[in-house]
Amino acid sequence: LFIEYAQNERVKAIGHVAASLVHEVRNPLTAIKGFLTLMRGSRLEPGKTERYIDICMSEIERTEYILSEYLSISKPNSDEQVPSDLQAILHITRDVMNPYANLNNVVLEIESPPEPVWILANPDRMKQVLVNFIKNAVEACADTPHGDGRVALNLQISTRKVTLKISDNGVGMTQEQLNHLGSIYFSTKSSGTGLGMTFSYQAVHTFGGTISVESTQGAGTEFTIKLPLYRKKEQGEPWRSGVHIDIKN
């Protein structure tokens, strides 16, 4: 009976994920179909074709993004954790997110340590976690009327752990929103997936870390991520250095 129950729950869960994936992917497909129909049907004014192709491209990119988010959610613990250099991860995060911040007229400042800092994690996932937090912070600023959006990532290293703070002066969250943060599909955005925070909470948990958040509606938000530092077992050798980790982008 118990097995049957568990299977039922699993089938329900799969149904839920499938339904929302279909929903998410159908919207861009509908848009692409619409624009292709327009392009076939009539002679378009000069410039229109290019514009429609651009829209289709961005809808396709969005679909790819949604699919990759779903994929990362579906196998949270399957990746190997290796000693990973947070400094390198922060450099890549900066390169990835600077254009996005510029596009939204948001000033982004990412602090990185002067030397490698080792954590036990999957570096691709860790990068994705930071991208998710910074992306949300930028989007929260882009929605504010003051037009002076700022996002900062600061870090602090102590003997056992590294603390990352990601702060923004964006729209902030209500208590109700804070309560839902990290729940799957929770999103307040018209085209949000509500998967970014779920993935990030899961990943940080897998790396042995914690996340806390302080937010004031209309003023901004600050996330604090704490991660244990990676140390070699033997005494007297604090950092494991010289490990080369290839981070794909």
- Quick check: 136 binds Mg ion (CB under 5 A)? yes
Q: Which residue stretch of 44-52, 108-116, 195-203, 218-226 sits at the interface with Mg ion (rule: CB under 5 A)?
A: 195-203
Q: How far is the CB of 136 from Mg ion (least distance, A)?
A: 4
Residue 3 CB, shortest distance to ligand ADP, in Å, is 33
Cβ closest to Mg ion, residue 136 vs residue 169: 136
Name the amino acid, one letter, at 46: P
Residues 46-75 that bind ligand ADP (CB under 6 A): none
Q: Note whether 121 binds ligand ADP by CB under 6 A.
A: no
How far is residue 185's CA from residue 164's CA, in Å, rounded to a whole number?
25
Q: Where are the alpha helices (DSSP H) in the chain?
A: 2-41, 48-74, 86-103, 123-142, 175-180, 196-206
221 counts as binding ligand ADP under rule CB under 6 A: yes
11 contacts 19 by C-beta, under 8 angstroms: no
C-alpha distance from residue 185 to each of 19, 70, 150, 189, 199 (Å): 12, 11, 26, 11, 11
Query: Total residues at the site for ligand ADP (CB under 6 A)?
Result: 22
Closer to ligand ADP at the Cβ: 93 or 136? 136
Say whether residue 181 binds ligand ADP (CB under 6 A): yes
Q: How many CB atoms lie within 10 A of CB 149?
A: 23
- Residue 101 binds ligand ADP, judged by CB under 6 A: no
**What separation in angstroms does the CA of 176 have from each of 61, 191, 223?**
32, 20, 17
**Residue 138 in contact with ligand ADP, rule: CB under 6 A:** no
Of 199 and 230, which CB lies nearer to Mg ion in the complex structure?
199
193 binds ligand ADP (CB under 6 A): yes
Q: Are strands 150-157 and 107-110 parallel, antiparallel or unpaired?
A: parallel
Instruction: Provide DSSP, 192-244.
Output: --S-HHHHHHHHHHHTT-EEEEEEETTTEEEEEEEEEBP--SSTT--------
153 is a site residue for ligand ADP (CB under 6 A): no
Residue 239 interacting partner from Mg ion, ligand ADP, none (CB closer than 5 to 8 Å by kind): none
Of 92 and 197, nearer to ligand ADP (C-beta) is: 197
Residues forming the site for ligand ADP (CB under 6 A): 132, 136-137, 140, 168, 170-173, 177, 181, 186-189, 192-197, 221
